[in-house]
Amino acid sequence: MRKNEAGSQTTGAAKPPAHQSVYEQLRDLILFGELAPGQAVTIQGLAERLGAGMTPVREAIRRMTSNGALSMQGNRRVIVPELTENCIEQLDFMRKMLEPELARRAAERMTSACIEDLKSCDDALNTAISQGDIKGYLTHNYRFHACLYAAADAPVLMATTDRLWLRFGPSLRVVCGRFGTANLPDKHVELLEALAKGDPEAASRALGEDVEQGMLQIRAALTDTAPAQ
C-alpha cells in the first residue's frame, strides 16, 4: 500500500483511463467476432452494450476505423467490413510476409519460460477445441500468437500484424460456425517443437503453414467452398 501526492492511500496498479478500457472492450468484440462481418450497429447501441459514455465510445470507434476494423455508415451506425476476395488475397500476402518472420525472430530469442507460456495457451486452446467452445478457441488462439510475436522483440512488425488480425479475426468466427472447432487444423505442435529445438527456420516454416491453413479456411467459409486438404 502506498500514498499518493495528496497523502491518501492507494493500492495496486493504476486503473487504466476509461477511454482505453472502452477501446479494449470494443477491440475484443471485433477481434473475436462478437460483432459479425456485415453487422451494422448504432453508436448508441455500442455505448449501451459496453456500459460506457458516448465520448469514449466515439474515440474507440475512431481508432477502430483508422485501423480498418470498422467502417462508418449513415444514421450514426458502424459496421465490421466483410472480406472481399481482393482483401483476402492481400491479407494472405501480408500475413505470410510478416508472421513467419516474427516466428523466426521469436525462436532466436526464445526462453524456457516463454515456451511454457505458449504451451499453456495451446493447452487451453485444445481444451476449447474439444469442448466446441468457439469463443475460447478464438481467444486462446489469438493469445498463443500474441505471446509468440511479443517474444520476437519487433514492435513495428507486431503492431502491423495486430492490425491485420483485426481485419480477418471477425471472419474466424464464421469459419468456426461452418466447420466447427474440431476441424480447424493448426501447426502449433510443430511450431512448439521447433522453438524447443531452437530452430528459427523450422519455426518460421511451421508458422507459414499455420497461416496458409487459416487463410484457406477463411476463403472457403466466405466463398462457400470446401477447403483443400
Ranges of residues in the chain whose predicted pLDDT is under 50: 1-10, 226-229
pLDDT of residue 7: 46
pLDDT of residue 22: 93
Q: Which of 138, 70, 142 lies closest to 99, judged by CA?
A: 142
The set of residues, in sequence order, having a beta carbon less than 8 Å from that of 62 and lying 6+ positions away, is none
Amino acid 39: pLDDT: 85
- What pLDDT sits at residue 3? 45
What pLDDT shows up at residue 145? 97
